[in-house]
Amino acid sequence: QQQVKQSPQSLIVQKGGISIINCAYENTAFDYFPWYQQFPGKGPALLIAIRPDVSEKKEGRFTISFNKSAKQFSLHIMDSQPGDSATYFCAASMLGNYQLIWGAGTKLIIKP
Amino acid sequence: KAGVTQTPRYLIKTRGQQVTLSCSPISGHRSVSWYQQTPGQGLQFLFEYFSETQRNKGNFPGRFSGRQFSNSRSEMNVSTLELGDSALYLCASSRDSPGANVLTFGAGSRLTVL
């Protein structure tokens, strides 16, 4: 019940296309859902995060869509660029809890 | 402001040796977490320290240990190294906000065990 399942494991998208990465969870006590982006040779960095009181959050080309009833959330990258090529991790945590539960990661490659 | 600093960045050890990795968090961050990252296993949580106390621990053997100093700097130690310990070890610090914990990661220490 503590798991966060992330898919796909890897993704290849053409430049200008939409990249979509999905995550699913079981524990309804989760109430904070961040996405982290990791470039080769670097540590992960917070990209965008959402709470379940909203269904969507947008920051530039990056959007989180949240479906509370389905217990799923996804990251959409619009107009994907080669510079977006990285590994993306979803995560979740519970109110009052400090520990993040991580998805397995998605390696995204944007083809020029 | 300075980010999370991890040292050393790269190191090579042989089986049976031990290793100590260091992490300096962002100034003002009191929580430090450690993760192991391998190609097939993603981010595996090792432990988290707050105010010199281990607050959370992942599912790793006792060969993996850590500590935090009064200035929030942290070290982790792996004893009796095994080939499978080869990995990128990441440290992350945070301001410690329950329910919205934003982690800032260092670049990692890449350990190779021969």
pLDDT at residue B14 tops 90: yes
The gap from C-alpha A100 to its chain's centroid, in whole angstroms, comes to 13
DSSP secondary structure of A58-85: EETTEEEEEETTTTEEEEEESS--GGG-
Q: Are the C-beta atoms of B109 and A53 separated by less than 8 Å?
A: no
pLDDT band at residue B66 using 50, 70 and 90 as cut-offs? very high
B104 to chain A, closest Cα gap in Å? 6
What's the mean per-residue pLDDT of chain B? 92
Q: Where are the beta strands (DSSP E) in A1-112?
A: 4-7, 10-14, 19-25, 30-38, 45-50, 56-59, 62-67, 72-77, 86-94, 101-102, 106-111
Interchain contact B45–A (C-beta under 8 A): yes
pLDDT of residue B98: 56
Chain B: nearest CA to A23, how far in angstroms? 15
Please report which confidence band the pLDDT of residue A48 belongs to, taking 50, 70 and 90 as the band edges: very high
Of A36, A46, A93, which has the smallest distance from its Cβ to B99's Cβ? A93
- Chain B's closest residue to A104, CA to CA, is B42
pLDDT of res. B76 = 98
Collapse the DSSP code of B83 into the 3-class scheme (helix H, G, I; strand E, B; otherwise coil) and give the result. Answer: helix
- Convert the pLDDT of each residue in A53-83 to its tens digit: 999 999 999 999 999 999 999 999 999 999 9
